[in-house]
Amino acid sequence: MTTLTNLLDLDPAQLVAYCGELGEKPFRAKQLQRWIHQFGASDFDAMTDLAKSLRDKLKTRAVIAAPAIISDHTSADGTRKWLVDVGQGNAVETVYIPEENRGTLCISTQAGCAVNCRFCSTGKQGFNRNLTVGEIIGQLWMAEFELRRTKGIEPGPKGERQITNVVMMGMGEPLLNYEPTVTALKLMLDDNAYGLSRRRVTLSTSGVVPMIDRLSQDCAVALAVSLHASNDPLRDGLVPLNKKYPLVELMDACRRYLEFAPRDFITFEYCMLDGVNDSDQHARELVALVQGSNPVPCKFNLIPFNPFPESGLIRSQNPRIKAFAQVLMNAGIVTTVRKTRGDDIDAACGQLAGEVKDRTRVQERMKKMADYQEKFGSNFGRIVEISS
Ligand code: SF4
């Protein structure tokens, strides 16, 4: 039996090559790509401007298959979250966050994560496997066209685009699944697919220094770095990858990246952990780190920690977060405090609620969330807004 090729796995050049194998001209690949990524088509018969002979060939050899949806929830604030099946008993979360003038999709690149950051529930479940291109871009494909279907917006380039920004901040360390991640990024940027500008696509990394350099050459989108600590001993304990790529190397990599980046700053994400990394002294160390003799143009995004019992950590109090932000702002650093959206999605580089190893655990996970809310209050996992 022939294995069907999932066309979501192919980047533009691969699709041209694939059409070539079928004896078709390169422009057919463009048409096909538009049907797939701009019209959300998965049925070859719907591709009316392709010759019937080509459609028939495709039906026997190819498929357009995004990860199957296991669950689909919309919060009162409009945040929509899908749990999708990525096979072999694994599932990942994809989250859509609507805001006034944009819609952001947070996508995952790995099932689980090997980096094992201390404050991250994904890290606690360990690494399961890398996602394929089709599973990564398939999250965007699925979300864009599900959102359009829900709102009755026509597919195609004329219909109002629902997802204007993508952040690779879901489950996994994208730079440890490099090739599929970059291929998916290229599809996001391609004019015959999603046509997003590089400024509107952000990759978040825990600091895989050599791959930051590679990304700057292969597909320099906006970069966010999960920093979470102001000095090496502290970061060694929170983000174990720091032992391999300490802060001085990470800051150098950020400076190098900025020469190619679409934005003129790096976003540093900083999870606020009570009594661990949230003192004024830590904030002053951060200022010295990014504004010392060799500054790194940056913004800070402070993230109130979403506690889970196994971590042994708790969220910083709001007044502490405000005071910490003030030290950064007094030094002239643009600083925001992340509002969490929906019920359990305040994710910095994979801080998704985690226990999504397989579909049989969804109910268990929901129950766990209810337990957490009982234990930590109904605000567990919800937006903590800090008014200035
Ligand atoms: S924070 Fe990111 S890099 Fe760290 S364990 Fe979680 S998913 Fe992995």
Q: What is the pLDDT of residues 23-75, one digit of tens each?
A: 999 999 999 999 999 999 999 999 999 999 999 999 999 999 999 999 999 98
CA distance 135 to 151: 24
Residue (of 386, 291, 308, 295) closest to 354 by Cα position: 308
Where do we find the tokens 């089709």? 134
Please indicate whether residue 8 or residue 90 has the higher confidence score (pLDDT). Answer: 8
Q: What is the number of the ligand 1 atom nearest to the C-alpha of 204?
A: 2
**Can you give the pLDDT at residue 129?**
93
**Measuring CA to CA, how many Å separate 115 from each of 124, 275, 325, 339?**
9, 23, 27, 25
If one residue of 131, 168, 177, 206 were mutated to test the ligand 1 pocket, choosing by the most ligand atoms within 8 A of its CB, it would be: 206
Whether residue 226 has its Cβ less than 6 Å from ligand 1: yes
Domain boundaries, the chain: 5-63, 68-376
CA of 173 to the centre of ligand 1 (A): 6
Does position 337 have pLDDT exceeding 50, yes or no?
yes
CB of 369 closer than 8 Å to CB of 361? no
Please indicate whether residue 90 or residue 187 has the higher confidence score (pLDDT). Answer: 187
Whether residue 229 has its Cβ less than 6 Å from ligand 1: no
Q: Which of 24, 93, 144, 269 is catalytic?
A: 93
User: How many residues does the structure list for the chain?
Assistant: 388
Tell me the mean pLDDT in the region 183-198: 96
CB of 124 closer than 8 Å to CB of 65? no
Please indicate whether residue 142 or residue 342 has the higher confidence score (pLDDT). Answer: 142
Q: What is the pLDDT of residues 197-229, one digit of tens each?
A: 999 999 999 999 999 999 999 999 999 999 999
Asked whether residue 73 is marked as a ligand-binding residue, the answer is no
SS3 label, residue 274: coil
CA of 114 to the centre of ligand 1 (A): 8
Does position 368 have pLDDT exceeding 60, yes or no?
no
Protein residue whose Cα sits closest to atom 7 of ligand 1: 350
Q: Tell me the pairing of strands 80-85 and 68-74.
A: antiparallel
CA distance 106 to 137: 12
Whether residue 180 has its Cβ less than 6 Å from ligand 1: no
Whether residue 116 has its Cβ less than 6 Å from ligand 1: yes
CA distance 171 to 121: 10
CATH topology of domain 68-376: TIM Barrel (3.20.20)
**Can you give the pLDDT at residue 383?**
36
Asked whether residue 42 is marked as a ligand-binding residue, the answer is no
Residue (of 292, 285, 287, 297) closest to 232 by Cα position: 285
Whether residue 174 has its Cβ less than 6 Å from ligand 1: no
Tell me the mean pLDDT in the region 361-367: 50
Its pTM surpasses 0.85 = yes
Rg (CA), the chain: 21
CA distance 291 to 278: 19
Written as six digits, the tokens of 305 are 């920690």
**Can you give the pLDDT at residue 290?**
97
Does position 371 have pLDDT exceeding 70, yes or no?
no
Whether residue 354 has its Cβ less than 6 Å from ligand 1: no
CA of 295 to the centre of ligand 1 (A): 26
CATH topology of domain 5-63: DNA polymerase; domain 1 (1.10.150)
Q: Given pLDDT bands bounded at 50, 70 and 90, which one contains residue 373?
A: low
CB of 141 closer than 8 Å to CB of 66? yes
CA of 174 to the centre of ligand 1 (A): 10
Whether residue 349 has its Cβ less than 6 Å from ligand 1: yes
End-to-end CA distance of the chain: 63
CB of 91 closer than 8 Å to CB of 83? yes
Determine whether 93 is an active site residue: yes
Output DSSP code: residue 333.
Answer: -
